[in-house]
Structure 1
Amino acid sequence: MIWFVLLCCALLDVTSPELLSRRRRSWIIDSFSLEEEHPGPFPYELGRIKVDRAHQVTFEIFGQGVDEYPQGVLTIHRMTGVISVHKSVDYEELKALKLKLLASKADKTLDTKLGIEITILDINDNPPHFQKDLYEVTVGEDVAQGTNLLSLLAYDGDKPKSPNSTFHYEIRSVSPKPPNAEFVLEQSGELSFRGCLEYEAGDTYKVLLVAKDHGEVVSLSSTTTALIHIQDGNNHLPVISGQTGTRTVKEGEIGVVPLRLHVTDRDLEHTPAWKAKYTMEGDKGGNFKVETDPVTNDGILTVIKPMDFEEEAERELLFSVENEMPYYSCKVKARPASGLWVVDTSGGTTGPVGGPKPDSLRVTIQVEDTNDPPMFTALVHEAMLVENVDIGAYVETVTAVDPDSSHGRDFMYKIGKDPGDWLKVDPHTGVITTAKRPDRESPHVVDNIYTAVLHAVDSGEPPMTGTATLLLHVFDQNDNMPKLSVNQVVVCIGDGPTRTNLTALDPDNEPFGGPFTFELLGKVKGKWSVDPSYGYKVNLVKEPIVYSGVHRVEVKISDKQGAFAFNNLTVTVCDCTATPYCRGSRASASTVGFGAISILFFALLVLLITLMLAFLMTCKKDFSSLKTDLTYEVTLLSSNIEKPGTDCKVIQQNP
């Protein structure tokens, strides 16, 4: 029993130290303690406060168990000092009740004030409790003995370091009982095993675990369950049980499956311990790949690179098969009473390297001969040719061989692609000649290169075709004369010379093109000129003497080599201030529609009537030009008269 501890926590109501000392000695108080979870009946007497006084005092207590939590546990008789207990207490909530005791005189003055503590005694009312009601873990079949599978944790709410709170772990039962293994529970809470786990003996073990305390009066315990799931290990290697397929491959084929390997495996299907993994030796050309069928576990051999019968008529391959999971085996040799058992392991990641070798099979794949296409000795041929060369001119000679023919010649040459129909090829010799005069300016020539495709077609069943490309470099000749980019321009009337741009074009290459020399022909002096006369672009200069109307100017344009051409230029001169759309009126006669022709005839009729009226009027020496916005050359006539007209006489009529 834990004795009552008396603490003096308050001063007496007197001020003299000697008097205080004498009064304390006059108190006789027994040691008090409460046993938790007392069954009653209530109330019962806990003890009495005895005071050696000549005068009467009354008692009061305050604090835990009275007016503080847990309220209502204790009371004290005011006159006798008897302390009574009215209900039970819990050691796990409070280890002691701290109180203040007051003793008062008859005149209500304070006689004594003390602090007291009532100890609560622990009983074994709490069994050990596991942290979890169920522990669950999954381990591989190849896990080594002694490996910690899981860690248990339990706690006891009774008084620490007492028999009531001290406990140990036990294994109560294991179901099913493993034939070659034994589970071990350390007092640290670590669950392990010794021996060999076997998936085939049980894929799940149910272990019932106990935590039991060391209570003196009564021993309490609790249980939990551990489920140990065993994952199938690879303790059975796959065995090649058969093969299907033709074991033949046609040359040139890819994507075909000439062989399937069949295996058997006693491990659990569709687990890493069952899934097969194939390896292949002897594929020096990299023509094959072997993969695992995820459903059947078969090994599928596929051609990924075409084979050539003329190079190799057969290929010998060696196949081996293992599992995705490394092989592992465990056998118990001895079972000592303590410590780990004596076991023999091989393979896997936890045991020593060893064990049986993977199953293997040697297979010969036959290559079947097929009709190979003729092969050109060069896939790209390049030749050079000057444009406009005569028909029948030599271009190039191509050569091909037929690998299926013993003499290498069992085919004919043909033109496959000839966009301009320029070429022809001798079907037997491969000599290429011109069928047309080549033109470097042809739209089929890109960057001075004409591209054609040649074929060599054999007589097999079916016929096979070999292909080569001919790049024909076409050299330029000066076969194109320079010309104006436009043959019609519009010039406005002005007080001084007016200019219009002229541009010359020549599709020939350097040095057969520009810059060009421009020259105006005919009676142009004082009327028309070019400035400058050399270049790609020049200015056509109109002098003020040239009046409105449509004019034709002949322009001679020469390239750098002196080759020239005559160009007829139509120039429409008009008053741009009077005719705002003068510059836009450039329609030629060939583009004038039916409505435009009607307008032209109507304008011509108006012009004739105007001339007749002018002839009947009085003539003047000053000449005024007739302003018109008609710029169509089909309605105007050429005239060499560049000056105002002379006087004219008007016929006088008799009045």
Structure 2
Amino acid sequence: MEPKSIFCVECSGSVLQVIKFLYILLILSCHNIPSYLATELEYKVLENEDEGVFIGNITNDIVSALDTECNSLAYRFMKEMEFFMLKNKSGELYTTKQRIDRETLCPVVFHGRPCTQEVNVVILCANQYLQMVKVKIVILDVNDNTPYFEEEVLELSIPEDAVVGTSFAIDYYFATDKDAGENGIQNYHLQSNENVFGLKDEGTRSIVVLQSLDRETKNLYEMKIMAVDGGTPPLTGTATLLINIQDINDNCPLFNTSEMVVHIPESITFNSVVAHLQAVDADLGPNAEITYSYGNRIRDISRKLFHLDSATGLITFSGNGSPETLPEHKLTILANSPGCAPAIIQITVIILYGSNYNPKLEISYIANQADGVIFLKETTPENTPVALLEMTGRDHYLKGSLYVKGNIPFYLKPYERSGNKHLLVTSRHLDYELENQYKIVIKAEDPRITHELAICLQVTDENDNSPQFHQSSFEISVEENNAPGALLLKVFATDADSGQNGKVAYLLGSDAPTIFSIETFTGVLTVSTSLDRENENLYTFTITAVDHGTPPRKESTIVIIHVLDQNDNIPTFLTDDYTFFIPENFQSHGEIGVINVTDLDAGLNGHVIVSILNGSSIFLMDNTRGILRCNSSVDREKSTMHVFWLEAVDGGQPSLSARAKITVFVLDVNDNPPIVLLPQSNASWLLVPPNTPQGASVAEIYAVDYDTGINAVMTYNIVGRNGPAPHIFGINTATGNITLQEELLHKDYGLYQLLVKVSDLGQPQPLHSTVMVNLFVNETMSNKSYLEALLHSQTLFTEEKQTEPNPCPLMQTLDFPCSPPVIPIAVTMIVVSVIFLTIALYMLLSMKKKTKRKELYKDAQIPLKINLDYYTKDWNDAQL
């Protein structure tokens, strides 16, 4: 006998289809379940692929193993995918025009782990759910990022006495590569033509000294350090490494000559200059400090006549010359420096007495001159001879002192031991930018005559100065969405050289994006397009100032541009339509699901608050964790679905917002026991004529269960019997039909009472109800009073042994075998099927029909002929 529909007449066709669908699921559950139902697919695709690149075919990898004869399979994503496209008919996966950037999807912190994207694909047959497949797509890395150093110029200091083979760690100078694995940085190289230093990269990166160092020979080494990744072809990032050689005290003072003869007249005055000594120490700072002193063997008379300044090396006359004074004095001068043996010079001072002295100073030019003006390049090294001075006259010996007046970078150096010739020599490097003209006055002092000679010297400019920016870096902030061509800043550099050597032009470095440009001679920096902070929030590049000298000299500075945020991005939900499933009686404040909202803006502009738009009191939003929670208990029997809207609002001024639809389906829990509608009471009874054939149905039990799915599948069992022959009646556990098992005899006449237990198959605990079925085996319904008395009397039952509920009650009338090991699988499939069935039923039935359906349950729409077959006191009273 077909099961009775518990729905309204209009829905009976749909319900029958649902029941047939459940039958098919149960039949499948009673056979072997294919293993592919739990299979996950994994595909691989390279990042940055063009649109339409094939990824995989679900039909070949999954559906070919599916035992189905369906000719109209269809495929669709469970949610929209940005990077992948699924062909609805063929099940083929392709890339979209939105290129995949692995470094964006999986930042550097994910290095060492696969970068994956997961998507669920639903397989449909004739628009009916068939299978869901979990697809994992592994994004393979492409070598599309160049290693780069955070700093373009790296500096290291090494003492000049470093032993060959000594290492100096530079681990704090590291490069970054956004790529991973083999495409990441594999090694470092040092690029230098001098082979003075090497790079060791064995766990700790360090610079190794390969040759002996001498700061006095070279104090700065410039080379390139290169970071190389393992891609094909490999990409390289470079930075400039500057190694400064630190000075140590490894040089001692030196005089440019070991002997000197000085002639002074007998009439020399007090404190007149006799000689000016200059020793040279190639070291720097304290290591080059020199003091001067007399040797131990100088006579006391000489010490008294000539005073030596220990700091400057200036020797002055401190006594009175007289014929009694010795005409010749030997002065041994020591140049002292810490840790060094002193340099020694022997000065012979000759005092000229009573000679006819009428000297004349003549000059012979060594350096280039024109019209009496000497021209020297500013790059001229120190100790360069400029001119030769010669004392001429009847007496070639100067009876006084000869010196250069003033504090200028020139001094006189004896050319001959006789003392009548001197070289005018530079004492240090000249600098055009400090002073470009000198008037050199050479003075010869004699007791009877003073002679001066003036020389004009012009220093010519060389391109020895690089342009200098007035600050080491320029840092500015610009709001995004600026007008194209906006002026960002103006850089300025000066060059101390003159003419073309000091004329400066400005160029952008090779690391500058093409959207920036700079005016060559003004240094005005502009941007050609609107900046987008969400695309790039920081720009760092170099600007180079180049002079027009030959060869040109240049200097660079760093420009840092911070792009400030504007509230130009709307909050975005992961999807515009969220669907969640929760069981009824869900715990208060329980987590329903995560609501993913992103806002590409920063700060308050990107701070998003999500709220329930239509004020539902059943649900609430936990904005601290972005979780939708249940605020109160839900009952599926009252409502199977809740639909409301969420609104995400950012903190910008003015704020921007977005909305998303939320659908929460309430899944059934076995919280309703079966309700017996027929018979209507334990006092109801039915007449069974003696001529009833064996196997005929004598009574039917109608029951409903407000739950759904497996929780509403009912079984019927007789648990107690009473009567002349209790076991002549049996019950169909699936339909509740009571049938006559044996042919009735005269001895079988009388009242039979059957206690029937109606149980559902709910999990984890089935629920049940009981009902008394009274059957009166007799030819007529005479003697009703006697029968009613029997019904109200105490009844004793023959208890039947309880058996486990039949796991496949619907199979009983279909003669299908049911294997106990697959019962859990069958139950699971039925539960899953019920979820989709609930959704389908909701689309078919309105909320009004649901209410009507419940009322119909209460009104017990039982066929009239069945109502008339049962006899109860209540029924008879209702007819009166």
Q: How would you bin the TM-score normalised by the shorter chain?
A: 0.3 to 0.5
**Normalising by structure 1, what TM-score?**
0.40
**Normalising by structure 2, what TM-score?**
0.31
User: Normalized per residue, which structure has more helix?
Assistant: 2
